[in-house]
């Protein structure tokens, strides 16, 4: 029995994702593909456009098992997002290869990951210097790695070096670091179709960004239907959370430091909506994505002290043909497997249950955003895994 692991958001699932899973299985000879998928909120600090059960059903057209990546990790920075997602997959005891899509399949992921794992002082100093001069951390690290690779003749292809600042490459490096730490191999697979941020609606393989744009531009559903969710649905919830926490400041929340906390306090009177406020807060020191994550963490009440590894496997769905795989996971992993949310408290120790409770809280807020006055709501505590024949 061979299984490959894939970390995903599937926001939403599309033809490119189907190709990734198919190609990964074919190239590795794997019998199964296990996906750890973000729940109702995603790594760029926004809600997913569709709820996790809808996205799970779509993913099971190709994947065999979908487990939820807890909200605490799914909304974290690239380092924590990849670190905990990969560790969850490896901890199943059946995954020995992590596959991911990239625009640059020939990029030296393992070489770069090894350099970063060694905490090279030349690179670390270059990053510190660049951050002090006003660059964001991602830009500083990309510049430092580029200089190091050129000076050590590790790579001299400008296109490869340019890739260091691209989101999928950054995530690919973090996946590789996490995989190497757990003695797991990686398989980068070339993305097909449009690039990550391309909003073109031409061709068979559209980007998730283009699909989201199309979905959100469609006519509003009837009051009895669930709606697609976007950042605009967070407007009131974020403002309410910012007001409630204003007196104590925001540097206790994940990804937020004292300077950004002061900036939020100063500019809060100018808040009109989530997106414009995130742009208002953006500066040479803080990327737009990081600010979105901070605002989301404030809304979800995720604090620095909450970040820890307390794994459990919440099964969102599986194919009937993967029952043997689930049985094997139960045997090889010491991590609890949850199929009924109502049983979670009896299965999890206190630390892990606190992470699970955050998932319940996030799901409740998402339901508030996803439902019109009479739209059907998902009862998280009664939701069973989706099973596909």
Would residue 316 count as lying in a domain? yes
Instruction: Tell me, yes or no, whether 83 and 9 share the same domain.
Output: yes
- Percent of the chain scored above 70 by pLDDT? 93
Instruction: Tell me, yes or no, whether 99 and 123 share the same domain.
Output: no
Would residue 219 count as lying in a domain? no
pLDDT at 295 over 90: yes
Instruction: Tell me, yes or no, whether 193 and 327 share the same domain.
Output: yes
Report the pLDDT value the prediction gives residue 23, as an integer from 0 to 100: 96
Instruction: Tell me, yes or no, whether 367 and 268 share the same domain.
Output: no
- Percent of the chain scored above 90 by pLDDT? 71
Taking residue 167's Cβ as centre, other Cβ atoms within 10 Å add up to: 16
Tell which residue, 144, 107, 84, has the closest CA to residue 311.
84
Would residue 212 count as lying in a domain? no
State which of 250, 276, 305 marks the end of a domain: 305
- Residues 221-234 have a mean pLDDT of 84
Would residue 170 count as lying in a domain? no
Is 17 annotated in a binding site? The answer is yes
Instruction: Tell me, yes or no, whether 60 and 193 share the same domain.
Output: yes
Instruction: Tell me, yes or no, whether 41 and 94 share the same domain.
Output: yes
Answer whether 354's CB lies under 8 Å from 312's CB. Answer: no
- Residues 74-85 have a mean pLDDT of 96
pLDDT at 50 over 80: yes
Tell which residue, 342, 352, 333, has the closest CA to residue 381.
342
Instruction: Tell me, yes or no, whether 141 and 93 share the same domain.
Output: no
pLDDT at 153 over 80: no
Report the pLDDT value the prediction gives residue 139, as an integer from 0 to 100: 84
Give the pLDDT band (50/70/90) at residue 77: very high
Would residue 22 count as lying in a domain? yes
pLDDT at 196 over 60: no
Report the pLDDT value the prediction gives residue 120, as an integer from 0 to 100: 84
User: d(Cα 74, Cα 40) in Å, to the nearest integer?
Assistant: 9
Is 378 annotated in a binding site? The answer is no
Is 110 annotated in a binding site? The answer is no
- Residues 164-169 have a mean pLDDT of 84
The answer to which of 18-22, 146-150, 248-252 has the lowest mean pLDDT is 146-150
- Name the one residue in this structure whose structure tokens are 């692991």: 5
Is 10 annotated in a binding site? The answer is yes
Taking only the tens place, the pLDDT of each residue in 89-132 is 999 999 999 999 998 888 889 999 998 998 888 889 998 998 88
Would residue 204 count as lying in a domain? no
Would residue 72 count as lying in a domain? yes
Report the pLDDT value the prediction gives residue 100, as an integer from 0 to 100: 96
- Name the one residue in this structure whose structure tokens are 């020191």: 285
C-alpha of 238 from chain center:
20
Is 101 annotated in a binding site? The answer is yes
Is 389 annotated in a binding site? The answer is no
Taking only the tens place, the pLDDT of each residue in 303-360 is 999 999 988 999 999 999 999 999 999 999 989 999 999 999 999 999 999 999 999 9
Instruction: Tell me, yes or no, whether 97 and 194 share the same domain.
Output: yes
Is 9 annotated in a binding site? The answer is yes
Number of domains in the chain: 3
Is 168 annotated in a binding site? The answer is yes
Instruction: Tell me, yes or no, whether 294 and 314 share the same domain.
Output: no
Is 11 annotated in a binding site? The answer is yes
Is 191 annotated in a binding site? The answer is yes
Report the pLDDT value the prediction gives residue 304, as an integer from 0 to 100: 95
Instruction: Tell me, yes or no, whether 46 and 96 share the same domain.
Output: yes
Domain span holding position 288: 231-305
Whole-number CA gyration radius for the chain: 21
What is the residue-averaged pLDDT of the chain? 91
Would residue 127 count as lying in a domain? yes
Is 45 annotated in a binding site? The answer is no
Report the pLDDT value the prediction gives residue 201, as an integer from 0 to 100: 56
Is 274 annotated in a binding site? The answer is no
State which of 305, 331, 359 marks the end of a domain: 305
pLDDT at 16 over 80: yes
Q: If residue 316 lies in a helix (H) or strand (E), which one and from where to where?
A: strand 313-319
pLDDT at 83 over 60: yes
- Name the one residue in this structure whose structure tokens are 């500083």: 140
Is 14 annotated in a binding site? The answer is yes
């Amino acid at each position: 029995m061979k299984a490959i692991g894939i970390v995903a958001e599937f926001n939403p699932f599309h033809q490119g994702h189907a190709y990734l899973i198919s190609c990964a299985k074919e190239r590795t000879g794997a019998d199964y593909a296990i996906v750890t998928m973000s729940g109702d909120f995603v790594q760029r600090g926004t809600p997913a456009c569709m709820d996790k059960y809808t996205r799970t059903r779509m993913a099971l057209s190709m994947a065999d098992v979908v487990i939820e990546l807890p909200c605490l990790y799914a909304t974290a920075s690239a380092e924590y997002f990849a670190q905990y997602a990969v560790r969850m997959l490896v901890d199943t005891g059946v995954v020995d290869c992590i596959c991911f899509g990239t625009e640059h399949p020939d990029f030296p992921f393992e070489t770069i990951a090894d350099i970063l794992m060694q905490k090279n002082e030349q690179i670390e100093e270059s990053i510190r210097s660049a951050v002090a001069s006003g660059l964001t951390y991602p830009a500083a690290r990309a510049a430092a790695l580029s200089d190091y690779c050129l000076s050590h003749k590790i790579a001299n292809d400008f296109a490869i070096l340019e890739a260091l600042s691209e989101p999928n490459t950054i995530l690919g490096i973090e996946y590789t670091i996490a995989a190497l730490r757990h003695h797991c191999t990686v398989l980068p697979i070339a993305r097909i179709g449009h690039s990550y941020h391309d909003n073109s609606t031409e061709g068979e393989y559209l980007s998730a960004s283009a699909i989201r744009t199309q979905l959100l531009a469609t006519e509003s559903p009837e009051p009895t239907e669930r709606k697609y969710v976007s950042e605009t649905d967070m407007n009131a919830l974020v403002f309410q959370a910012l007001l409630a926490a204003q007196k104590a400041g925001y540097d206790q929340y994940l990804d937020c430091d004292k300077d950004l906390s002061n900036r939020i306090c100063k500019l809060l009177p100018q808040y009109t909506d989530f997106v414009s406020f995130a742009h208002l807060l953006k500066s040479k020191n803080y990327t737009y994505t990081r600010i979105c994550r901070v605002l989301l963490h404030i809304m979800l009440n995720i604090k620095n002290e909450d970040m820890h590894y307390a794994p459990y496997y919440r099964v969102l769905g599986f194919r009937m043909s993967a029952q043997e795989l689930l049985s094997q996971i139960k045997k090889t992993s010491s991590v609890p497997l949850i199929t009924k949310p109502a049983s979670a408290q009896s299965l999890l120790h206190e630390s892990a249950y606190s992470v699970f409770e955050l998932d319940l809280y996030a799901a409740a807020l998402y339901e508030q955003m996803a439902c019109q006055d009479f739209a059907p709501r998902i009862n998280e505590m009664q939701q069973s895994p989706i099973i596909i024949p």
